[in-house]
């Protein structure tokens, strides 16, 4: 563990440092509560914070209240208070401290409590990791492994905002599998699922590493291509269609030949306030319908100028 100590008393600080070092933990000493807060709220927060409730600058109680607002990255908090400072201990518990140690410190008690703190914080971080993984999985389409509709919608909003802010190009594509209902009718839904999985994989392979693919629904995929101008969008779309049709897809019911219709819009000079996600999606849906109406296996790409 990494620990931050915020305690102005030299003897107490030395005991804490000795116990932490013996347990193999790295220690940083904060000059006051404000410095302790900067260390805790930084990009690389410690696992443990030990603060005297009377530390200067920002007392231990207020420090704890702020730490509790950090969420999963919050360290395990130990408040130090003298034996006759019962009110401070009660307020510390109310403020959300994880443990309270009485001064003067006893080394044997201190080492025991630090072991318990390490064990608790390790379990807490593991739980936070598992929750983050579960949240991540919930935003992935379980069949194809690409972003689900919620995730790709969020990414679209973020990319539009970034394009407007940086005045950079953005191309949005919608890919629709041609005659997908016929495939399901002729080969079965299991084969249809195999087709969708293969198309998602071929899309990811054909696109750049920073492009984004999401399943929009059914047999549709939304693709976000940051920095892609109209001059390059048609080339990329043609390459994508070629990558999809290049070979038939093996399924349990035989090999299936696949083509797709692709519609898109290019924001060459960045988005503006008129380019909200709903309007962008409607535009690419119309473009995709146009490509499908023309026979499929083609792309209809349109340039949209910022107003």
Does 144 reside within a domain? no
Same structural domain for residues 99 and 181?
Answer: no
CATH number, position 60: 3.40.50.2300
Does 261 reside within a domain? yes
Same structural domain for residues 174 and 110?
Answer: no
Same structural domain for residues 109 and 180?
Answer: no
d(CA 305, CA 275): 10
User: Which region among 31-35, 68-72, 197-201 has the lowest average model confidence (pLDDT)?
Assistant: 68-72
d(CA 9, CA 187): 77
Identified catalytic residue from 35, 159, 219, 220 = 219
Same structural domain for residues 157 and 210?
Answer: yes
Selected residue with higher pLDDT from 78 and 61: 78
> Which pLDDT value is given to residue 110?
85
Tens digit of each residue's pLDDT (9 = 90 or more) over 57-67? 888 888 888 88
d(CA 205, CA 200): 9
> Which pLDDT value is given to residue 306?
52
13-17, 71-75, 150-154 — which one is most confidently predicted on average?
A: 150-154
Which residues 6+ apart lie within 8 Å of 125 measured at CB?
A: 47, 72
Same structural domain for residues 195 and 293?
Answer: yes
Same structural domain for residues 117 and 171?
Answer: no
> Which pLDDT value is given to residue 175?
97
Same structural domain for residues 164 and 223?
Answer: yes
Does 173 reside within a domain? yes
Query: Tokens 């539009």 belong to which residue?
Result: 160
> Which pLDDT value is given to residue 238?
93
Same structural domain for residues 158 and 97?
Answer: no
When divided into structural domains, the chain yields a total of 2
Catalytic: 219?
Answer: yes
Helices 149-166 and 277-293, axial angle in degrees (round to 10): 110
Tens digit of each residue's pLDDT (9 = 90 or more) over 243-272? 999 999 999 889 999 999 999 999 877 666
Tens digit of each residue's pLDDT (9 = 90 or more) over 102-111? 888 888 888 8
> Which pLDDT value is given to residue 201?
96
* pLDDT for residue 274 is more than 60: no
Q: Is 264 helix (H, G, I), strand (E, B) or coil?
A: strand
Domain membership of residue 33 as a residue range: 2-137
Query: Tokens 């408040």 belong to which residue?
Result: 79
The string of DSSP letters for 109-173 reads HHHHHHHHHHHHHHHHHHHHHHHHHHHHHHTB-TTTSSB-HHHHHHHHHHHHHHHHHHT--EEEE
The mean pLDDT of 44-57, rounded to a whole number, is 89
The phi and psi torsions of 41 (rounded to 5 degrees) equal -90, 0
Query: Tokens 């060459």 belong to which residue?
Result: 268
> Which pLDDT value is given to residue 75?
92
């Amino acid at each position: 563990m990494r620990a931050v100590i915020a305690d102005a008393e030299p003897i107490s600080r030395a005991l804490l440092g000795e116990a932490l070092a013996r347990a193999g933990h790295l220690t940083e000493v904060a000059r006051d509560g404000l410095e302790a807060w900067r260390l805790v709220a930084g990009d690389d927060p410690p696992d443990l914070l030990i603060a005297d409730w009377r530390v200067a600058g920002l007392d231990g109680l207020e420090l704890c209240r702020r730490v509790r607002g950090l969420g999963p990255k919050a360290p395990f908090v130990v408040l130090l208070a003298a034996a006759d400072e019962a009110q401070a201990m009660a307020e510390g518990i109310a403020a959300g401290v994880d443990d309270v140690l009485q001064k003067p410190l006893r080394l044997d008690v201190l080492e025991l409590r630090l072991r318990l703190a390490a064990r608790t914080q390790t379990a807490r971080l593991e739980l936070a990791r598992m929750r983050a993984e579960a949240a991540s999985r919930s935003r992935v389409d379980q069949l194809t492994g690409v972003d689900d509709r919620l995730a790709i919608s969020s990414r679209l909003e973020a990319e539009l905002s970034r394009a407007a802010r940086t005045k950079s190009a953005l191309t949005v594509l919608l890919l629709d599998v041609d005659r997908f209902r016929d495939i399901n009718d002729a080969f079965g839904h299991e084969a249809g699922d195999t087709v969708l999985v293969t198309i998602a994989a071929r899309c990811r392979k054909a696109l750049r590493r920073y492009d984004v693919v999401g399943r929009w629904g059914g047999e549709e995929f939304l693709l976000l291509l940051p920095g892609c101008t109209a001059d390059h969008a048609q080339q990329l779309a043609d390459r994508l269609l070629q990558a999809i049709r290049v070979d038939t897809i093996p399924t349990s019911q035989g090999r299936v030949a696949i083509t797709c219709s692709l519609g898109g819009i290019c924001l060459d000079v960045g988005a503006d306030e008129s380019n909200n996600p709903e309007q962008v999606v409607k535009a690419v849906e119309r473009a995709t319908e146009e490509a499908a109406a023309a026979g499929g296996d083609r792309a209809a790409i349109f340039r949209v100028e910022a107003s």
